[in-house]
Amino acid sequence: MNIEWNAGDYHKNFSFVYKYGEELLNLFTLPKGALVADVGCGSAVLTKELKSAGYNVCGIDASPQMIELAKCNAPEISFICADATQFRLAEPADGIFSNAVFHWIDDTEALAANLARNLRAGGELVCEFGGKGCAEAVHGALENIFRAHGKKYARTFNFQSVGEFSPVLERHGLMPVYCTLFPRPTRQDGEEGLKNWILTFLKAPFSCVPEEEREDIIAEAEQTLRPVLYKDGEWYIDYVRIRVKAIKVR
């Protein structure tokens, strides 16, 4: 993972991440009692939903802070602190679930190989994450503003298309049976919704920007993007998502 989280703020201020992930659960066709690993479980909101659906679940996250929060929120569930490209389960899972995680992972080949390694033959992978073009209005505006400030805007997301992600899965024995890319403009809370989104999800580009200049850049971004992303008193980030279900065939 190429970001560090403020676990409490993320859980409190960006609950839409979990709410949009709930409908993903319906893609599983596993029987009750099946072992399902939630990769990138965060604070365990959806891990608990998986357990409520009757699955035997474990949560996996690379952030120690998120794992501690998950343990507090769901003490009855077991959790592993590990990277999505490196975790090891004691036995292969019947299903692997992941929501809003894979666009943070640079090495998609290593990710797919490890998912396949931890999934039994016939097992199901269900995931959704940021796809090609996600939040491009924001990234494009900031790229131009950074350039005007004499700085380079670092793009740290791995947004992929269906045609890019599906072949990676297939190379590792994961056959996509459902794969779609779709826009989903996503509302942010309050007048400072865009600013809060930038401060939470775009840590890397601003890591070497002094605080005062950071505030100026964000203010310029708000001015630039208001005609595009501000509607009826609310900020909407121009999300694009890729949603996948794959079966392990070898």
Q: Where are the domains of the chain?
A: 7-135+157-188+238-248
Q: Which residues contact 110 (CB under 8 A, 6 or more apart)?
A: 85
Cβ 95 vs Cβ 124: under 8 Å? yes
CA–CA gap between residue 179 and residue 1 (Å, rounded): 23
**How do strand 93-99 and strand 174-183 relate by DSSP bridges?**
unpaired
pLDDT of residue 4: 57
CA–CA gap between residue 250 and residue 214 (Å, rounded): 49
pTM: 0.91
User: If residue 212 lies in a helix (H) or strand (E), which one and from where to where?
Assistant: helix 211-229
CA–CA gap between residue 13 and residue 189 (Å, rounded): 8
The share of the chain scoring above pLDDT 70, in percent, equals 92
Edge-to-edge strand order for the sheet containing 234-237? 186-188, 234-237, 230-231
CA–CA gap between residue 14 and residue 12 (Å, rounded): 6
Nearest-CA neighbor of 204 among 160, 240, 158?
Answer: 158
CA–CA gap between residue 88 and residue 66 (Å, rounded): 18
pLDDT of residue 172: 98
SS3 108: helix
Please give the structure tokens belonging to residue 66: 């998120």
Give every residue of the chain whose pLDDT is below 50, as ranges. Answer: 2, 5-8, 10-12, 14
Q: Which fold has domain 7-135+157-188+238-248?
A: Rossmann fold (3.40.50)
SS3 106: coil
SS3 62: coil
pLDDT of residue 22: 76
pLDDT of residue 16: 58
Q: What distances in angstroms separate CA 84 from CA 32, 67, 114, 141, one per listed residue?
A: 25, 14, 7, 31
pLDDT of residue 21: 72
Length, in residues, of the chain: 250
